[in-house]
């Protein structure tokens, strides 16, 4: 979902983004990876004061779910499998400047 807010603080554009991803369970080698879902959020403030400066806040894995998203049969004959787990909740700020604005 992307929503451009109808007001412009400091002559900048506010844009809210939210996305949701769902993966069904599936089998890898002799193991099953469970289904999982992930939600991400982002708020952009673009062109602050007509200066070419953009500011953004983002958050990934909003619900801080812990889930494996990939597997590998390291030693299939011994039944040893490794799993790659998704990143925990992460958030941050981004500042961008557009030259020649």
pLDDT 10s digit of each residue in the chain, 101 long? 999 999 888 889 999 999 999 999 988 766 788 899 999 999 999 999 988 999 999 999 999 999 888 877 666 667 677 788 999 999 999 999 988 86
Residue ranges per structural domain of the chain? 2-97
The pTM (predicted TM-score) of the whole model is 0.78
67, 39 contact by CB (below 8 A)? no
């Amino acid at each position: 979902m992307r929503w451009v807010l109808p007001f412009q603080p400091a002559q900048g554009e506010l844009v809210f983004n939210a996305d949701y991803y769902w993966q069904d369970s599936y089998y890898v080698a002799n193991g099953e990876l469970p289904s999982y879902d992930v939600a991400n959020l982002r708020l952009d403030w673009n062109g602050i004061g007509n200066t070419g400066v953009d500011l953004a806040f983002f958050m990934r894995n909003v619900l801080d779910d812990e889930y494996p998203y990939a597997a590998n049969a390291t030693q299939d004959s011994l039944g040893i499998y490794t799993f790659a787990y998704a990143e925990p909740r992460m958030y941050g700020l981004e500042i961008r400047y557009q030259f020649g604005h």
